[in-house]
Amino acid sequence: MQSRPWGVLGYALGYDAPPMRILGLETSCDETGVAVFDTECGLLGEALHSQVDLHARYGGVVPEIASRDHLRRLLPLVDQVLKDTDTRRPDGIAYTAGPGLVGALMVGSGLANGLALAWSRPVVPVHHMEAHLLAPMLEPDAPAFPFLALLVSGGHTLLVAADSLGRYRLLGTTLDDAVGEAFDKTAKLLDLGYPGGAALARLALDGNDGAFAFPRPMLNQPGFDFSFSGLKTAVMLKVRSLEKDGELDRARPDVAASFQRAAIDTLVARTLAAARKERCGSIVVAGGVGANDMLRAELARRFDGKVFYPRPQFCTDNGAMIAIAGAFRMADAAPPGTIEARARWPLESLLPPTSDANR
């Protein structure tokens, strides 16, 4: 009997598993995220501290500053979320073990292991990109496997065939910059601050997206890989020539709109081609760029299947996606002991949860 609304969760845990509360900790980059997810009732509470202001003046994330701030913020956030959710002792503690900044990851990993030791609870190391991929399952209208996942953030651009929990085939990735990085670098050229993806999207609303013909990289190549460095260079050259002619101020919204159009056209064309090849009726979009309105509108217009997203606040990094991923991966939970922190960790190297693989 399936007592939970989350079909896949029931499958992963066993439908008669007792309800569990999982504490999730996210510290892979520049957001400190904490959440408690209950396998019976769903998300009970979450809190986030963003370091964006700390890094803004450097124009990018400074790893040492990130680690120190996680260290300062994480424990008070855990305290707050446990109080808010009336949780005395969770049944398991999930933390982001990678990929990410090693120093930042070690803060979450260290605290997860410390709490687990104090509470005699198991810990679950979570893959950050698998958590992004599972984030739409926090929503009432959750996707079911198999689906195609487009994971688009500041560090990643991945097109993944998600056959089942833990069985992921990488169809395409970026050969150079991540799409979020391209948004951020273009935003920087337009003096929109860092990270400027959302600000660029807002500025683009006032511009003409046909004003400049920027390249749609890779679209004439076979396969599903992406490349954004040529687009970035084309925008940079255009900004320089507009600046020289004293026209940049007037043309800023047009540059933003034309860049956004080229980047989104590329993402959407590749994603639709992959969905056709895989005969996928569902697409999951997650990661920070998944909050982009034009991406959402274009997929809705051009894809005849269903597209699933997390709510915008769970597109970017957060603790809730780590807590639900930890719930899915409870079979991999282990006694505390190893401080796991991996800078690199290919998504396609994951396996289904231990008990699931043996079924």
Footprint on this chain of ligand KG4 (rule: CB under 6 A):
29, 153-155, 180, 183-184, 195, 197-198, 201, 287-289, 291-292, 316-317
What's the CA gap between 119 and 135, in Å, rounded? 27
Which neighbouring-strand residues pair with 146?
A: none
Query: Does residue 153 belong to the site contacting Zn ion (CB under 5 A)?
Result: yes
Residues 6 or more apart whose Cβ sits within 8 Å of residue 359 = none
The interface mask with Zn ion, positions 278-317, x = CB under 5 A, is: ---------------------------------------x
Residue 282 interacts with, from ligand KG4, Zn ion, none (CB under 5-8 Å by kind): none
Edge-to-edge strands, sheet with 147-152: 167-173, 157-164, 147-152, 282-286, 306-308
Collapsed DSSP state (helix, strand, coil) of residue 267: helix
Query: Which residue number, 153 or 174, has a Cβ lying nearer to Zn ion?
Result: 153
Query: Which residue number, 112 or 126, has a Cβ lying nearer to Zn ion?
Result: 126
Query: Which residue number, 123 or 321, has a Cβ lying nearer to ligand KG4?
Result: 321
Residue 172 near residue 224 (C-beta atoms within 8 A)? yes
Stretch near Zn ion under the rule CB under 5 A, chosen from 3-11, 88-96, 149-157, 159-167: 149-157
Cβ 171 to Zn ion shortest distance, Å:
19
Applying CB under 5 A, what is the total number of residues that bind Zn ion?
A: 2
DSSP state of 205: T
Residue 218 interacts with, from Zn ion, ligand KG4, none (CB under 5-8 Å by kind): none
Residues 6 or more apart whose Cβ sits within 8 Å of residue 243 = none
What's the CA gap between 283 and 238, in Å, rounded? 34
Cβ 183 to ligand KG4 shortest distance, Å:
4
Query: Which residue number, 116 or 291, has a Cβ lying nearer to ligand KG4?
Result: 291
Query: Which residue number, 39 or 153, has a Cβ lying nearer to Zn ion?
Result: 153
Residues 6 or more apart whose Cβ sits within 8 Å of residue 286 = 132, 133, 135, 136, 149, 150, 151, 152, 309, 310, 315
The footprint of Zn ion (CB under 5 A) covers 153, 317
